[in-house]
């Protein structure tokens, strides 16, 4: 087979076999109502893959019955591994925990709510075989999400591209397949404030976009209301770029120009002896300059705060309990194994 040239990142691709072991990493926060749907879909999916499977469910400190449900599932199926985080650390950190524990040759990061369809993973594996190290899902449509959320997401990706990384793929969430090599690179980035898709873009390697239709949530509610989306955008902006700092310089320049203009005007008025009625302009300039200064100091403060948090070198997350971790994954589906056990017992 001739070596193909990767379209997007100009690497020479090296075809490789299907991953012998495939890991799925699924962060979960209050997803109790989703578990049954997820289980049905996953079992169906796993029947169709030839690779040895491992599913890492990361319970991100849920306050509902998620852990009971997934722990019960893990006792019935050894391919299901559960990480119980000591509290809620947020989606990005929970995903990181799952990626750290994954042992597959290829790892797929996917949400629990089945918004990212599992069959797309087959297409991702195809690309992996062609030699791509990162295959990310790019959304073509979003169903069942409010116009407000869609607009928010649209603006999010465009602003991120401007601020974070001009190569950051548009309309791409965390749903992606990552090769072992690329994952090892990613694992070396232990920054406290994490924006995984930006970090994966930073790691590089041949990357490919698979287009897909984003379904609506199978059950439950989004854990990313506007407030959290804005917080993620701010983390992305401040942990990836110094653009906000540059913005404060631009703000300073603009107010500087206004100040110079007002200064010239004051001198001009002075030359005609009309000095008293300057109070309004003085107030305007003082308030504009004052606010510009405060904004700049505030932005600077955000960066200093982040340096402070990073400098503490705390662990990113704590795992309080695991299920099935360390148990060697097995290829045969559970039904076959049960059948085998029965045969053994009877013989």
Binding site for ligand UDP (CB under 6 A): 27-29, 31, 60, 88, 90-91, 94, 111-113, 115, 222-224
Is 52 a binding residue for Mg ion by CB under 5 A? The answer is no
Give the shortest CB-339-to-ligand UDP separation in angstroms: 33
Q: Which two tokens stand for residue 169?
A: 């793929």
Give the shortest CB-146-to-ligand UDP separation in angstroms: 11
Give the shortest CB-300-to-Mg ion separation in angstroms: 35
Round to whole Å and give the CA distance between 189 and 166: 20
Is 31 a binding residue for Mg ion by CB under 5 A? The answer is no
Which of Mg ion, ligand UDP, none does residue 77 bind to, with CB < 5 to 8 Å depending on kind? none
Residue length of the chain: 347
Q: How many CB atoms lie within 10 A of CB 277?
A: 8
Give the shortest CB-316-to-ligand UDP separation in angstroms: 14
Helix (H) or strand (E) holding 278: none
Give the shortest CB-111-to-Mg ion separation in angstroms: 5
Is 113 a binding residue for Mg ion by CB under 5 A? The answer is yes
Q: Using the rule CB under 5 A, give the single segment among 114-122, 133-141, 155-163, 247-255 that binds Mg ion.
A: 114-122
Q: How many CB atoms lie within 10 A of CB 208?
A: 25
Q: Given strand 319-323, what is the order of strands in its sheet?
A: 207-214, 134-142, 172-179, 106-109, 21-28, 52-59, 80-85, 319-323
Give the shortest CB-115-to-ligand UDP separation in angstroms: 5
Round to whole Å and give the CA distance between 276 and 270: 9
Is 96 a binding residue for Mg ion by CB under 5 A? The answer is no
Toward ligand UDP, which CB reaches closer, 83 or 292? 83
Radius of gyration of the CA atoms of the chain, in A: 26
Toward ligand UDP, which CB reaches closer, 58 or 134? 58
Q: Which two tokens stand for residue 161?
A: 């591209």
Helix (H, G, I), strand (E, B) or coil at 222: coil
Give the shortest CB-45-to-ligand UDP separation in angstroms: 16
Give the shortest CB-242-to-Mg ion separation in angstroms: 31
Pairing of strands 21-28, 52-59: parallel
Q: Taking CB under 5 A as the rule, which mask of x and - marks residues 289-328 in contact with Mg ion? A: ----------------------------------------
Alpha helices in 208-317 (DSSP H): 226-240, 243-271, 279-311
* Residue 324 burial class via C-beta count within 10 angstroms: exposed 0-12, middle 13-18, buried 19 and up: buried
Toward ligand UDP, which CB reaches closer, 13 or 186? 186
Round to whole Å and give the CA distance between 27 and 97: 9
Q: Using the rule CB under 5 A, give the single segment among 5-13, 109-117, 134-142, 257-265 that binds Mg ion.
A: 109-117
Is 115 a binding residue for Mg ion by CB under 5 A? The answer is yes
Which of Mg ion, ligand UDP, none does residue 31 bind to, with CB < 5 to 8 Å depending on kind? ligand UDP
Q: For residues 230 and 275, is the Cβ–Cβ distance under 8 A?
A: no
Toward ligand UDP, which CB reaches closer, 90 or 131? 90
The residue ranges that bind Mg ion (CB under 5 A) are: 111, 113, 115
């Amino acid at each position: 087979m001739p070596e193909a040239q990767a379209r997007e990142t100009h690497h020479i691709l090296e075809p490789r076999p299907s991953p012998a072991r495939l890991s799925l990493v699924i962060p979960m926060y209050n997803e109790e109502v989703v578990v049954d749907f997820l289980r049905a879909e996953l079992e169906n999916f796993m029947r169709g893959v030839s690779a040895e499977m491992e599913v890492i469910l990361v319970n991100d400190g849920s306050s509902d019955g998620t852990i009971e449900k997934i722990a019960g599932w893990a006792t019935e199926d050894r391919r299901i591994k559960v990480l119980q985080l000591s509290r809620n650390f947020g989606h990005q950190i929970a995903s990181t925990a799952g990626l750290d524990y994954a042992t597959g040759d290829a790892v797929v990061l996917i949400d629990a709510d089945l918004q990212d369809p599992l069959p797309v993973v087959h297409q991702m594996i195809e690309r992996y075989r062609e030699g791509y190290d990162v295959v990310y899902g790019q959304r073509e449509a979003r169903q069942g999400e409010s116009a407000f959320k869609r607009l928010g997401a649209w603006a999010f990706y465009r602003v991120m591209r401007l601020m974070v990384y001009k190569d950051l793929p548009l309309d791409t969430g965390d749903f992606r397949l990552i090769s072992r090599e690329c994952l090892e690179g990613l694992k070396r980035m232990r920054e406290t404030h994490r924006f995984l898709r930006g970090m994966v873009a930073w790691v590089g390697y041949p990357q490919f976009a698979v287009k897909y239709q984003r379904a609506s949530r199978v059950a439950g509610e989004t854990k990313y209301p506007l407030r959290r989306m804005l917080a993620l955008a701010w983390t992305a902006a401040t942990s990836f770029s110094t653009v906000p700092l540059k913005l404060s310089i631009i703000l300073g320049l603009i107010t500087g120009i206004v100040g110079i203009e007002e200064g010239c005007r004051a001198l001009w008025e002075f030359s005609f002896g009309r000095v008293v009625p300057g109070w309004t302009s003085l107030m305007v300039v003082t308030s504009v300059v004052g606010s510009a200064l405060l904004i700049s100091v505030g932005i600077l403060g955000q960066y200093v705060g982040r340096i402070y948090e990073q400098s503490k070198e705390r662990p990113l997350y704590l795992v309080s309990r695991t299920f099935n971790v360390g148990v060697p994954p097995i290829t045969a589906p559970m039904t076959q194994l049960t059948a085998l056990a029965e045969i053994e017992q009877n013989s």
